[in-house]
Amino acid sequence: MKIQYLDREHLLSVKNSYFNILALFLGQSKIESRFLRCLLKWGFQLHLNPEDLTKANIDLTHLQFADPGDKVSKLEAIYHLVYMIYLDEVVEDVELEVATIYAEQLGFRASVVSDLFKSIATATYDDKNERNVRQEVLDFLKLYEI
């Protein structure tokens, strides 16, 4: 069973997190082709189009990585990324590597990616009808004392 986005706000948050990770990698002097393929795959999965860039007020020529802010916002950004990886039910090593690079850039240990992935993957077996992403992130922070 595949998890679906609950609402437009959640999808918008995921897209904004995607744009930020895209900026992180495009800001490097050289980007490995396997990372670029991964980033493009995610863009297709999110069904991004020029209107999304306009709504997010993003100009790709001036796209810059921005630190999400506090610890909760940073973990939420990683959560969105891991959630996106989980959505297509095909997890590639390069996806986890990109997520780990992003997590480390935000100041987390590499293991946070696998821990979040496990949490998301097992959520379908929990008896939750509605997902509150922010609350899940707060619970995760408490549980793992990050």
- State which residues of the chain have pLDDT below 70: 1-7, 123-134, 143-146
What is the pLDDT of the chain when averaged over all its residues? 81
Condensed to tens digits (0 to 9), the pLDDT of residues 121-134 reads 776 665 555 556 66
Are 36 and 21 in contact, with CB atoms under 8 Å apart? no
Tokens 């940073």 correspond to what residue? 74
